[in-house]
């Protein structure tokens, strides 16, 4: 059987289901397996599981990682936002952002190292795809940040998740689904799917599969332009899946799950902020329960796109609202720390080169 959690010669115990962990520790008393599972969910290393026999812990650590994700550095920004740089067992780096809110605390996590979608404004895609993350490495980010912020399984610090760090979740579809199963497992960290958002650049066939999968998370679609020519120039994925197909898939998602779709719209100065764009967005979303999230571009120095002013962003919002579109401006994730996801990792790598 393929080991979906294998990295650098070992595998993540954390990426296995409760039943799999139980059958693996077969021969031990049930409470031993149960304790190990709880310790894993709390983010404990094997060496910290002192109520478990030492020889068993040593044996497990020969084959398994307790948590394959280690916090390498963290940067605290305004209003409590923390940006994390994580190290993986093969020394690859990924990042995540923890954002405390009054309704709960959100972790933005990564699904791949790099990304192969090549969007023209994004830092994550600059070096292409390095590799997919395993389910254990996705869950590991949640567990590490929950522990780092004083959370436990009973009293979680991380209550909401957005899969909006580096990577295209639907380009790592099977592992993302395995991760969703793990993270909402009863007795585990157990984050409800209603508190999880998955963001995609628009892989239409996967949006449809996901709608049929039985998962009921919030679907965000990175839209960014309502005209095919413009969208294709910003997002190469639009050549394969143009706007008509994307909107059809979004409507399908709504009809299959009953959940309104969120359209992410990163505003780029003099490119996608025209009146014509606002009017076309209104046309496309008419009569369809959805919401538009406007984000001011985080300028990436390797790309030649500019952010509009805050005033221009407000004006675009006012236009959409007047046209009857449900829309709000989203403060970009940790932009006082180091821009959009992908930029921190790149800066770290170039400092060390």
- Is residue 184 near ligand SAH by the rule CB under 6 A? no
- Note if 95 is an active site residue: yes
Footprint on residues 43-82 left by ligand SAH (CB under 6 A)? none
Please name the residues in contact with 229: beta carbons below 8 A apart, sequence gap of 6 or more. Answer: none
- Is residue 5 near ligand SAH by the rule CB under 6 A? no
Pick one of ligand SF4, ligand SAH, none as the site partner of residue 218 (Cβ within 5 to 8 A by kind).
none
Which residue in 295, 317, 325, 327 binds ligand SAH (CB under 6 A)? Answer: 295
Footprint on residues 248-287 left by ligand SAH (CB under 6 A)? 264, 266
Pick one of ligand SF4, ligand SAH, none as the site partner of residue 340 (Cβ within 5 to 8 A by kind).
ligand SAH
Give the integer Cα–Cα distance in Å for 214 and 184.
13
Distances (CA, A) of 330 to 155, 201, 335: 28, 18, 11
Pick one of ligand SAH, ligand SF4, none as the site partner of residue 298 (Cβ within 5 to 8 A by kind).
ligand SAH
Task: For CA atoms 19, 20, 25, 26, give the dihedral sign.
Answer: positive
Pick one of ligand SF4, ligand SAH, none as the site partner of residue 335 (Cβ within 5 to 8 A by kind).
none
Opening angle at CA 183, ends 179 and 185, nearest 5:
115
Pick one of ligand SF4, ligand SAH, none as the site partner of residue 125 (Cβ within 5 to 8 A by kind).
ligand SF4
Q: Which two tokens stand for residue 116?
A: 């192969």
In total, the chain counts a number of residues equal to: 353
The H-assigned helical ranges of the chain are: 18-24, 30-42, 54-63, 135-148, 173-183, 204-212, 228-234, 237-240, 243-257, 275-285, 310-322, 335-338, 343-352
User: What's the closest the beta carbon of residue 223 comes to ligand SF4, in angstroms?
Assistant: 11
Footprint on residues 218-277 left by ligand SF4 (CB under 6 A)? 222
Q: Pick the catalytic residue: 95, 137, 168, 271? A: 95
User: What's the closest the beta carbon of residue 255 comes to ligand SAH, in angstroms?
Assistant: 22
Q: H/E element holding 126?
A: none
| Per-residue mark of binding to ligand SAH, 300-319 (x: CB under 6 A) | x-------------------
CB neighbour burial string for 305-317, b if at least 16 within 10 angstroms, e if fewer: bebbeeeebeebb
Q: Which two tokens stand for residue 15?
A: 């990426």
Nearer to ligand SAH, 43 or 169 (CB): 169
- Is residue 95 near ligand SAH by the rule CB under 6 A? no
Pick one of ligand SF4, ligand SAH, none as the site partner of residue 266 (Cβ within 5 to 8 A by kind).
ligand SAH
Give the integer Cα–Cα distance in Å for 41 and 28.
19
Which residue in 168, 264, 273, 338 binds ligand SF4 (CB under 6 A)? Answer: 168
How many whole angstroms from its chain centre is CA 45?
Answer: 24
- Note if 299 is an active site residue: no
Return the residue matching tokens 């067992």.
89
Question: Do the Cβ atoms of 114 and 349 come closer than 8 Å?
Answer: no
Distances (CA, A) of 208 to 212, 221, 256, 299: 6, 13, 9, 32
Which residue in 105, 197, 201, 343 binds ligand SF4 (CB under 6 A)? Answer: 201
Part in contact with ligand SF4 (CB under 6 A); list of ranges 134-142, 164-172, 248-256, 304-312? 164-172
Which residue in 25, 36, 108, 117 binds ligand SF4 (CB under 6 A)? Answer: 117
Q: What are phi and psi of 105, to 5 degrees?
A: -120, 130
Which residues are annotated as catalytic?
A: 95, 341
Residues making contact with ligand SF4 (CB under 6 A): 115, 117-119, 122, 124-125, 166-168, 201, 222
Residues making contact with ligand SAH (CB under 6 A): 115, 121-122, 164, 167-168, 199-201, 222, 264, 266, 295, 297-298, 300, 332, 340
């Amino acid at each position: 059987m393929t080991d979906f959690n294998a990295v650098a010669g070992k595998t993540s115990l954390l990426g296995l289901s409760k039943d799999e962990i139980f059958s693996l520790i077969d021969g031990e008393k049930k409470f031993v397996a149960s304790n190990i599972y709880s310790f894993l969910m709390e983010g404990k290393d094997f060496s910290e599981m002192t109520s478990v026999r030492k020889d068993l812990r040593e044996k497990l650590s020969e084959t398994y990682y307790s948590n394959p994700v280690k916090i390498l550095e963290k940067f605290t920004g305004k209003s409590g936002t923390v940006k994390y740089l994580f190290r993986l067992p093969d020394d690859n780096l990924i990042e995540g952002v923890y954002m405390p809110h009054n309704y709960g605390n959100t972790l933005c996590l990564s699904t791949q190292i790099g990304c192969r979608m090549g969007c023209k404004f994004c830092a994550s895609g600059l070096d292409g795809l390095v590799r997919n993350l395993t389910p254990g490495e996705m869950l590991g980010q949640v567990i590490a940040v929950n522990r780092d912020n004083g959370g436990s399984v009973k009293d979680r610090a991380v209550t909401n998740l957005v899969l909006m760090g580096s990577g295209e979740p639907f380009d790592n579809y099977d592992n993302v689904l395995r991760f969703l199963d793990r993270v909402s497992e009863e007795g585990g960290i157990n984050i409800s799917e209603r508190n999880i958002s998955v963001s995609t650049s628009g892989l239409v066939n996967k949006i449809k599969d996901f709608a049929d999968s039985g998962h009921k998370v919030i679907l965000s679609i990175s839209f960014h332009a309502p005209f095919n020519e413009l969208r294709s120039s910003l997002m190469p994925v639009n050549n394969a899946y143009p706007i008509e197909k994307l909107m059809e898939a979004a409507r399908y998602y709504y009809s299959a799950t009953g959940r309104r779709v969120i359209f992410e719209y990163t505003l780029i100065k003099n490119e996608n902020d025209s009146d014509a764009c606002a009017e076309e967005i209104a046309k496309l979303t008419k009569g369809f329960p959805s919401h538009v999230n406007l984000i001011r571009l985080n300028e990436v120095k390797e790309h030649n796109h500019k952010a509009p002013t805050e005033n221009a962003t407000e004006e675009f919002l006012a236009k959409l609202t007047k046209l009857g579109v449900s829309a709000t401006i989203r403060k970009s994730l940790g932009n006082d720390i180091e821009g959009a996801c992908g930029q921190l990792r790149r800066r770290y790598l170039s400092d060390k080169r």
